């Protein structure tokens, strides 16, 4: 399959066969990495990483993956890039694509990464926007495939606020790849109806079922995967914590929900997580609202059913696959 020159902006742009190809490619590259087999086939190429939102996993994944492939990397942090402030998105794209072979963008609106891609003559990769997080879903699906040997027909439950990048992207990915997707939250936290309608059309072709449920017990019954994310997204003010905790506290992933599913059910989280009080923000919020954890209990996070650190590692292998395939 030839994906050379393609942008990677959202999973809606890719067929199920292309997504499967990227997952299989990541699996192969991971084996090479583990077995010490060199795969620096992109020597001489260079990529630029634009980060308007900081990150641990995304930055490290792109940098390590690029260097494994033999490429040079330039990291532009939120203060180093002039994009949208002193220089337009279109101008930034045309400057960078004259020097680099690929451009990653992690920031706010999806329209920014789409415009970068429009004016760039080299591949542009979405490291996260408010609306979509496609590289995370590839890592999630590689992890699920490693665990169960397949994707199609599995029951995937997303707990919590499903309106933004993770809820959107997981719903799209599940619809594309034939997993049954359930968003479990109060109705106001369900994904946008326009995207839901689009995913329902995709699901008809793949055999996937989409469900939107307010009852956590009903949602997690027979779940193969229970997934959650932090309740307040990056860039949102802390003022919204009170509302989110009030609305989502009963959707916390805990032992009761895990026991309601299957013995083989796995827990997933894109990280970072407020599963204890060992972070500055987690401690402050937990103490303010008299809680010991937020979206997931420490018991579940640290349990044998949790695959969060393998999932995090797989960010690097799947991002490597995207760059390898498109360059």
Name the catalytic one among 7, 161, 224, 229.
229
**Is 136 tagged catalytic?**
yes
Name the catalytic one among 6, 57, 133, 275.
133
Measured distance CA(261)–CA(305) in Å, rounded:
12
Name the catalytic one among 270, 275, 286, 317.
270
Measured distance CA(178)–CA(155) in Å, rounded:
10
Q: Are 25 and 41 in contact (CB under 8 A)?
A: no
**Is 133 tagged catalytic?**
yes
| Among 84, 138, 129, CA closest to 106 | 129
β-strand pairing of 46-51 with 72-76: parallel
**Is 315 tagged catalytic?**
yes
**Is 106 tagged catalytic?**
yes
Q: Which residue has the tokens 């045309």?
A: 94
- Give me the DSSP letters along 264-325: T-EEEE-S---SSS-SHHHHHHHHHTT-S-SSB-HHHHTSTTB-HHHHHHHHHHHHHHHHHH
Q: In what order do the strands lie in the sheet with 225-228?
A: 210-213, 180-184, 155-159, 225-228, 266-269
Name the catalytic one among 57, 59, 106, 244.
106
**Is 244 tagged catalytic?**
no
Find residue 48's DSSP bridge partners. 74, 103
Measured distance CA(235)–CA(134) in Å, rounded:
19
The two three-digit tokens of residue 97, written as one number: 């694509």
Name the catalytic one among 68, 136, 163, 199.
136
**Is 229 tagged catalytic?**
yes
Which residues are tagged catalytic?
Answer: 106, 133, 136, 229, 270, 315
């Amino acid at each position: 399959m030839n994906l050379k020159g393609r942008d990677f902006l959202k999973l809606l742009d890719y067929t199920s066969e292309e997504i499967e190809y990227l997952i299989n490619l990541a699996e192969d590259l991971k084996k090479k990495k583990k077995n010490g087999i060199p795969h620096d086939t992109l020597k001489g190429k260079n990529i630029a990483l634009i980060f308007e939102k900081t990150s641990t996993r995304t930055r490290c994944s792109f940098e390590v993956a690029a260097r494994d492939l033999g490429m040079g990397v330039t990291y532009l942090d939120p203060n180093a890039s002039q994009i949208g402030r002193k220089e337009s998105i279109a101008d930034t794209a045309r400057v960078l694509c004259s020097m680099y072979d690929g451009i990653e963008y992690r920031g706010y609106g999806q329209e920014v990464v789409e415009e970068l891609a429009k004016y760039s003559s080299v591949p542009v990769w979405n490291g996260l926007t408010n609306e979509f997080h496609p590289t995370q879903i590839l890592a999630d699906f590689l992890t699920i495939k490693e665990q169960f040997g397949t994707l199609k027909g599995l029951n995937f439950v997303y707990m919590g606020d499903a309106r933004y990048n993770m809820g959107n992207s997981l719903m799209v990915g599940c619809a594309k790849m034939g997993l049954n997707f359930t968003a479990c939250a109060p109705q106001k936290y369900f994904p946008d109806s326009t995207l839901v309608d689009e995913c329902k059309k995709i699901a008809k072709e793949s055999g996937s079922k989409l469900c939107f449920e307010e009852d956590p017990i009903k949602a997690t019954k027979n779940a193969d995967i229970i997934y959650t994310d932090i309740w307040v997204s990056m860039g949102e003010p802390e003022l919204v914590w009170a509302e989110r905790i009030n609305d989502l506290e009963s959707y916390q992933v805990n032992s009761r929900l895990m026991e309601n599913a299957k013995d083989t059910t796995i827990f997933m989280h894109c990280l970072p997580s407020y599963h204890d009080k060992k972070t500055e923000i987690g401690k402050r919020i937990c103490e303010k609202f008299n809680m010991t954890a937020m979206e997931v209990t420490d018991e579940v996070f640290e349990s044998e059913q949790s695959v969060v650190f393998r999932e995090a590692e797989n960010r690097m292998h799947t991002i490597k696959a995207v760059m390898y395939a498109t360059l």
